[in-house]
């Protein structure tokens, strides 16, 4: 096929041109291409043609929690959201802590045949924080990183060993930073709105202390580490200072942290309950600035789908998490509309940087590369309707919100896996 007349978003510039796709690859890029016999032509006039988006932090729930999501429904949500590759977290049942579960996820992904799915293995067996998982076996089976997502490894010594073993196998640890003793049952950010609602708060230090610890370990060991879903202004500053010293630290954040503040909790809407919690305006502004200056490398959804029964309860008892794959691009597009990023910068944070951090193929448009491409209308306005989500998880605080930026096509290895018109 030929993608004609689109704005091609490269890492450092945008250009108008055509892309020819053949045998699953980008065969040719040119200002104008003439179709050959049998080639389909897709008119991309007025549309962005981007490297396939990559979400390196997704919860697919399978195996074990298919009531919330499964690999088929999660992959469908991913391609609808413009993602050609996603990385799934290990807090399933059984936990992804061995080659058998990694192999199962890879096999199910092939059966579903939508986007590319890369399993992330648990740092410790059963995510119990006691014994390291079978890191080498998981790597051999196809794991692309390690994480204890949903919790931190409490022992600094064990975490140091994990980073060293991971490095031996060419893997990185993706760190959920949370000191459980400081969270102490908190369900929201400790601030004005926690006081107003009477909900128990969690202070920034619960996140920042573990960010600081992981940075110290990375610096002392001279090894890389990745910080998940940064939400605090002070965490951004810790990472910025570490990078300035040459520490091998990378970081990510999520659309809800640069879009919402803890004011959203004032109506006790359990859809706003997320971990780490929504913070204050100073945190939101710092996250935007961190994305702008490169302190924060990636935007991820932290897609955390839940069954309605897990959210339609009192705030204290509701599950943490937001179903984010289908809204991530539009919410992130607001950064471009506000002037914080250009489209090259957005693509780096949603495609190129995740690929580099996890050593994945993808993240660029060039001849000979896999034809993983996302086509979007950057100016189309639409209203978020959870009932229209293809994910099983309808849990979003953005219901009814008007957003800008609509995915039109998601192409994986030269095959259209999603098109908005449904044909």
Parallel/antiparallel/unpaired status of strands 145-147 and 41-43: unpaired
Closest listed residue to residue 174, CA positions, set 227, 99, 245: 227
168 tagged catalytic: no
Report whether 244 contacts 286 (CB < 8 A).
Answer: no
CA 405 – CA 55 distance, rounded (Å) = 17
How long a stretch of residues is the chain? 423
Beta-bridge mates of residue 124: 132
From the candidates 18, 70, 302, 310, give the one annotated as an active-site residue. 302
CA 183 – CA 192 distance, rounded (Å) = 17
Report whether 378 contacts 343 (CB < 8 A).
Answer: yes
DSSP string covering 209-260, please? HHHHHHHHHHHHHT--EEE-S---HHHHHHHHHHHHTT--EEEEE-HHHHH-
Report whether 115 contacts 75 (CB < 8 A).
Answer: yes
CA 12 – CA 22 distance, rounded (Å) = 25
Tokens read off for 38: 């049998």
Report whether 21 contacts 371 (CB < 8 A).
Answer: yes
Number of H helices, E strands in the chain: 14, 18
Would you please indicate which residues are annotated as catalytic (active-site) residues? 302
């Amino acid at each position: 096929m030929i993608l004609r007349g689109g704005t091609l978003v490269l890492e450092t510039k945008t250009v108008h041109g055509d892309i020819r796709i053949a045998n699953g690859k980008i065969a040719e890029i040119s200002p104008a291409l003439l179709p050959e016999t049998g080639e389909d032509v897709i008119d991309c006039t007025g549309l962005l043609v981007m490297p396939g988006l990559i979400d390196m932090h997704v919860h697919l729930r399978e195996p074990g929690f298919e009531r919330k999501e499964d690999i088929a429904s999660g992959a469908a949500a991913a391609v609808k959201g413009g993602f050609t590759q996603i990385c799934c977290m290990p807090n399933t049942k059984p936990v992804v802590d061995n080659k058998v579960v990694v192999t199962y996820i890879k096999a199910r992904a092939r059966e579903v045949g939508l986007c590319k799915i890369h399993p992330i293995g648990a740092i410790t067996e059963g995510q119990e924080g006691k014994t390291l998982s079978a890191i080498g076996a998981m790597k051999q089976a196809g794991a692309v990183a390690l994480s204890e997502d949903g919790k931190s490894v409490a022992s600094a010594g064990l975490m140091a060993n994990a980073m060293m073993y991971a490095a031996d196998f060419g893997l990185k640890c993706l760190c959920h930073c949370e000191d459980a003793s400081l969270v102490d049952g908190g369900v929201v950010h400790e601030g004005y709105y926690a006081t107003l609602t009477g909900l128990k708060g969690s202070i920034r230090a619960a996140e920042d202390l573990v960010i600081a610890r992981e940075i110290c370990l990375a610096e002392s060991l001279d090894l890389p580490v990745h910080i998940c879903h940064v939400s605090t202004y002070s965490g951004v500053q810790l990472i910025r200072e570490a990078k300035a010293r040459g520490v091998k630290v990378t970081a990510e954040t999520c659309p809800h942290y640069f879009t919402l503040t803890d004011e959203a909790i004032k109506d006790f809407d359990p859809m706003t309950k997320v971990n780490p919690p929504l913070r204050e305006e100073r945190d939101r502004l710092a996250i935007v600035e961190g994305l702008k200056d490169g302190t924060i490398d990636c935007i991820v959804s932290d897609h955390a789908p839940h069954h309605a029964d897990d959210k339609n309860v009192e705030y204290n008892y509701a599950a943490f998490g937001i179903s984010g794959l289908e809204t991530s691009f539009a919410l992130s597009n607001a950064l471009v509309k506000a002037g914080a990023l250009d489209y090259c910068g957005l693509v780096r944070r949603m495609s190129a940087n995740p690929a580099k951090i996890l050593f994945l193929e993808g993240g660029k448009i060039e001849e000979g590369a896999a034809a993983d491409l996302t086509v979007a209308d950057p100016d189309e306005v639409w209203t978020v309707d959870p009932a229209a989500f293809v994910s099983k998880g309808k849990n979003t605080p953005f219901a009814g919100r008007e957003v800008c930026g609509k995915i039109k096509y998601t192409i994986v290895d030269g095959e259209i896996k999603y098109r908005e018109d449904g044909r």
